[in-house]
Amino acid sequence: MAIFCGNKTTQDTIESPQKGQNSPQDAEKQEQTEQLKEEVPPRDISGWKWYLAIVAICSSTFLFALDGTIVADIQPVIIADLGHVEKLSWLGVAYQLSASATNLFWGKVYAQFNSKWFYIISVILFEIGSVICGAAPNINALIIGRAICGIGGAGMYVGVMTLIAATTTISERPMYVSVTGFTWGGGIVLGPVIGGAFSQSRVGWRWAFYINLFIGAAFAPIYLSLIPNKHPRRGAPLKERAKEMDWVGAILQAGAWITFILAINWGGLTYPWNSGPIIALFVVSGVLFIVLGIQQVWTIFTTVSRRIIPVEFFSSRTILILFSATAASGACSFIPIYFVALFFQFTREDTALDAGIRLLPFIVVMIFGVFANGALLSKTGYHMPWYTLGGGLALAGAALMYTVDLSTSESRIYGYTAILGAGVGTFLQASFSVAQAVVQLDQIASAVGFITLAQFLGITIALAAGNAVFLNESQERITRILPDVPLEQIQLAMQGAGSNFVQNLEPNLKVQVLEAIVESIGKTYILVVAGGALVVVLSLLMKRERLFISGGTVVA
């Protein structure tokens, strides 16, 4: 989520920010500032109605973030109820994958159709997915519900950013975008805690999803009556707008990512890595990516302005570096969110609520880092040091988490996660503001969507790969410890120390099984080590330029 945004008034290339060189330019900047002061907000409501509308749409940003982490520490509870531990990874991956696959498509939808009504449609989709999750009779239904929530959630997120951009002036926009950053951070912080609280209550884990219905219903009247109508192409026939969507690109992009993530999730547990289905999925994914690239570059069945992927950004070193760093930030943030909770449930027999509370040192420090970066980056203007410092701290924290074993004290783990959180927070959202500062005015929306895609993909791939590592490593190690135990029982052991199977083991075998699980969790932090190292390297390739992002105007 972008913490603040800047707009460029003049620019020669996609990577070169405006450079102030002489006093006439200083006069021009002063004139621009005066124009910003006189700018009239492009909305037809004001006062308490406007603020109520902002609270309403930002609530959906909160829900989107909340659902991204709400299953982090209730996964064992869900698996104990519905079974199929081999599908554990899909509880998180299905949500992030569907959001990633549809993010750019939603951006094109909002560019063609009424923002208010398609935002409401996305909210409805999200609520339908929540109902399916809450009422799921089996794990497959729950996964489908999570996927629908991801599609609707991506639509809500893009809708919020679109509505804010369409209803605010350049000078006031950073303040409102900062509010979305706050609600996003609040959702991430409270997700594991709320999920854990419901799993321990009488109503059970299903109400972790049903709660979305009450929040949506509370704000529904505001959605309908107060959100301003914004028509990007007023008067154009709906049929004409629909024809101008890049349907081919959207389908190819979704298919390529879905087959790729399926291969990662099924590899090792459901099918051997060298099996026909896994090889076929990787091959199909690769072919679809190649076809997508050809279709986008040569604008087949689309045009330059309508293609779903902003290919022009691939010629920008700065944007590609920001994209890669943002993808790494997704991995560095969500691996700990999911696996710190699992660690405490396995090793300390924590309830889901207790495990969620133990995440707070990591998440609170991370969110503090996000806000510190947002406040100081606009004052100092230098973005490169944030990535160097953040990547280094993330690398150090992840390396320390890799060393954690059964005897590691809680205080050390809290310290390690705080170091990791401080590092990730310094660059987690920085790319949003930097990207907007180095592109032309008419490319800002595409830049935000492109960086958002990076964040979604980083989270999705990290969760898929992390869960694959955890499940495969655990199963292999426990099979060696308990060679005579059926595979199903071994998979039950992977639910944590609270399972009857583990509790009934002899003390020495129980310790060995838990050590195997903890070592498998430790392997997932290799992804975070790699992510932190990548960010450090990328930071050294960044331009040592100074950007001032103030009042919606970029100056240098």
Q: How far, in Å, CA of 165 to CA of 448, rounded? A: 11
Tell me, what's the pLDDT at 525? Answer: 97
Determine the pLDDT at residue 552.
Answer: 38
What backbone torsions phi and psi does residue 382 show, to the nearest 5 degrees? -95, 120
Exposure b/e, 29-57, CB count within 10 A at least 16 = b: beebeeebeeeeeebebeeeebeebbebb
Residue 174 is predicted with a pLDDT of 58
- What's 89-142 look like in SS3? CHHHHHHHHHHHHHHHHHHHHHHHCCHHHHHHHHHHHHHHHHHHHHHCCCHHHH
Alpha helices in 202-316 (DSSP H): 207-225, 238-243, 247-266, 276-297
- Other CB atoms within a 10 A radius of the CB of residue 402 amount to 17
What pLDDT was estimated at residue 112?
83
SS3 18: coil
C-alpha span between 429 and 408 (Å, rounded): 31
pLDDT of res. 276:
93
pLDDT at 18: 46
Phi/psi at 218 (nearest 5 deg)? -65, -35
Question: What type of residue sits at position 500?
Answer: N
Q: State how far the Cα of 271 lies from the Cα of 439, in Å rounded to an integer.
A: 45
Q: Where are the alpha helices (DSSP H) in 298-409?
A: 317-347, 352-357, 360-380, 384-402
Q: Can you give the pLDDT at residue 428?
A: 86
* Predicted confidence pLDDT, tens digits, the chain (556 residues): 444 444 443 333 444 444 445 555 555 445 544 544 456 677 778 888 999 999 999 999 899 989 988 887 687 788 888 888 778 778 888 898 898 889 888 888 887 888 899 999 999 999 999 999 999 999 999 999 999 999 999 999 888 888 887 787 766 665 676 677 678 777 877 888 888 888 888 889 999 999 999 999 999 999 999 888 877 777 778 788 888 889 999 999 999 988 988 888 787 767 888 999 999 999 999 999 999 999 999 999 998 888 998 898 999 999 999 999 999 998 898 899 889 988 988 888 787 678 778 888 998 898 888 778 877 876 777 889 999 999 999 999 999 999 999 999 999 999 999 999 999 989 987 887 788 778 776 676 677 778 888 988 898 888 888 988 998 898 889 899 989 888 777 766 665 544 567 777 888 988 998 999 999 999 999 999 999 999 999 999 998 877 644 433 333 3
User: Two tokens at 276?
Assistant: 């026909």
Can you give the pLDDT at residue 495? 55
Tokens of 231: 């028509």
Q: What is the pTM of this model?
A: 0.81
> Could you count the other beta carbons within 10 Å of the beta carbon of residue 21?
9
Q: What is the DSSP string of 308-322?
A: SS-GGGGG-HHHHHH
Give CB contacts under 8 A, 24+ apart, made by 378-384. 378/4, 378/174, 378/433, 378/548, 378/549, 378/550, 380/546, 381/546, 381/547, 381/548, 381/549, 381/556, 382/544, 382/546, 382/547, 383/430, 383/434, 383/542, 383/547, 384/539, 384/542, 384/543, 384/544
Given a contact cutoff of 8 angstroms between Cβ atoms, the answer to whether 112 and 232 are in contact is: yes
Q: End-to-end CA distance of the chain, in Å?
A: 24
Predicted confidence (pLDDT) per residue in 365-401, tens digit = 988 887 788 778 767 778 899 999 999 999 999 999 9
Residues 542-548: contacts with CB under 8 Å, at least 24 apart: 542/318, 542/321, 542/383, 542/384, 542/387, 543/15, 543/318, 543/384, 544/382, 544/384, 545/17, 546/380, 546/381, 546/382, 547/6, 547/17, 547/381, 547/382, 547/383, 547/434, 547/437, 547/438, 548/378, 548/381
Instruction: Give the tokens for residue 137.
Output: 């009779």
